[in-house]
Structure 1
Amino acid sequence: MALAAGDVWLKTGANLLLFGPPGGGKTHLGAAIGLALVEDGWRVLFARTTDLVQRLQVARRELALESAIAKLDRYDLLILDDITYVSKDQAETSVLFELIATRYERRSLLITANQPFGEWGRIFPDQAMTLAAIDRLVHHATILEMNVESYRRKVALDRRRGPGRPPVHATPNELEKAVIDAGNRIASP
């Protein structure tokens, strides 16, 4: 509830980092926190990280990156969903790093990731940029590690099992016997 209120962490430019496997509810939790903050009057933007990075790349090509980042600065919180899906491309990661660096200690980020920090070398092209980005993100952050089973997997398994008892694997002889037994019950008065 304290995270959803936002008054402490958003005023100080702190971050919220949600880690866990795919299907664990990171995006859902991030969106729920964002919605609660909007309802309390905070300005929040939710974006898939890859989409936002592509928009920032276009702004850089048009020599308008500074203006684009300034527009994002109007938001008290940026929710960057699935940061680990950004490819290790210099152009993509440099605008992402610039966004992180610009917001550092001024504006908050909520980031979801299914990879721990040790795997973030796959996002940023060099070790120094990786360490600098992580350092800025964790300096003033609450980190939630969500070690849960995938909700999507659980729902799919439940759907596959269906209502009632689990399916029985019958041999052709057992099926024939069951049909004969059923026929005898129907024929018997």
Structure 2
Amino acid sequence: MSAAAQGRLALMLTELRLPTVKQLAADICEQADREGWPGLRLLEALFEHEMAQREVRRIARHRLESGLPPEKLLSSFEFAAVPAVSKAQINALAEADAWLKQGANLLLFGPPGVGKTHLVAGLGHALVDAGHRVLFTRTSELVQRLQAARRDLRLPHELAKLDRFDLLILDDISYVRRDQAETSVLFELIAERYERRSLAITANTPFSEWGAVFPEPAMTVAAIDRLVHHATILEMNVESYRRRAARPGHAPAGRKAK
């Protein structure tokens, strides 16, 4: 292919927004000429590379927008320290999307420091890798965001933006307190996503103490009812990681005790 022809092709591929084909066209066309590929095989090879790179870029964009802690992966979670949590069950949630299609929820309970955030963030990363859109946020930060949206008469718009995500992870719901203005926006979020979009929630306190989160008992009951319907509930009532790490002879993940 002449330099002029390569230049024209590069311009067309830029206009068509096919950067991977543009990058690889010369080498793959040379291979096709050398090996006598039919035209259909050449096109298939070029577009397979383009589609694969588009998927890589899409996942990278979704991971960036997710807000997930980058270091908290399932591969580094100490399942042995939390016997009540089945690694097989978590892997099943990561690999199957039926629960997301049903708008089912995941609720993780346990005292501070047992790995709830790590586990749910690791699941979030796995779901992003599988092509799903996930958003990780502190519950208190999201409540403040929704409160501001309500004051500005933008709450429906803000809820619609959150609806783009297959899974919304609300970390540390127990730190939200009903004396914060209008925490009823949290209930509106739960009601809006009910049976349509999934929530994953971590909590340091049992349901019996959630009256401190919502402004009215009836709202507390209604919120819990919507969350537990179609939910997987994980109880992580073990000693905190920090306490385990402080004990003599404890070996952190990936290291041997001396």
- TM-score per shorter chain, which class? 0.7 to 0.9
Question: Residue deviations 1:78-97, cap 9 Å, x none?
Answer: 00000010011363421100
Corresponding residue number in structure 1 for 2:199: 109
Residue 52 of structure 1 pairs with residue 52 of structure 2: no
Alignment of 1:15-164 (within 5 A): 15-89=105-179, 91-158=181-248
Corresponding residue SS for 2:101: coil
Change (3 A) 1:31 1:118: same
Question: What is the deviation of 1:154?
Answer: 1.6
Question: Residue deviations 1:152-185, cap 9 Å, x none?
Answer: 122234499xxx99xxxxxxxxxxxxxxxxxxxx
The 10-residue stretch of structure 1 (103-112 or 118-127) with the greater mean CA deviation from structure 2? 118-127
Q: TM-score, normalised by structure 2?
A: 0.60
Root mean square deviation of aligned Cα = 1.8
Corresponding residue number in structure 1 for 2:253: none
Q: Is contact 1:82-1:111 (8 Å) kept?
A: yes
Q: C-alpha distance in 2, partners of 1:79/1:6?
A: 17
Structure 2: gaps of 5 or more residues: 1-90, 251-256
The 10-residue stretch of structure 1 (149-158 or 50-59) with the greater mean CA deviation from structure 2? 149-158
Change (3 A) 1:155 1:106: same
Corresponding residue number in structure 2 for 1:187: none
Percent of residue pairs identical: 73
Q: Is contact 2:147-2:183 (8 Å) kept?
A: no
Question: Residue deviations 1:116-144, cap 9 Å, x none?
Answer: 00111111121100000000000110000
Q: Is contact 2:159-2:189 (8 Å) kept?
A: yes
Aligned residue pair count: 162
Corresponding residue SS for 1:134: helix
Change (3 A) 1:95 1:6: farther
Q: C-alpha distance in 2, partners of 1:91/1:109?
A: 23
Q: What is the one-letter code of the residue matched to 2:166?
A: D
Structure 1: gaps of 5 or more residues: 166-189
Q: C-alpha distance in 2, partners of 1:120/1:61?
A: 25
Question: What is the deviation of 1:55?
Answer: 0.7
Q: C-alpha distance in 1, partners of 2:116/2:210?
A: 17
Identify which of structures 1 and 2 has the higher relative contact order when contacts are C-alpha pairs closer than 8 Å and 6+ apart.
1
Change (3 A) 1:131 1:154: same
Change (3 A) 1:158 1:49: farther
Question: What is the deviation of 1:8?
Answer: 1.4
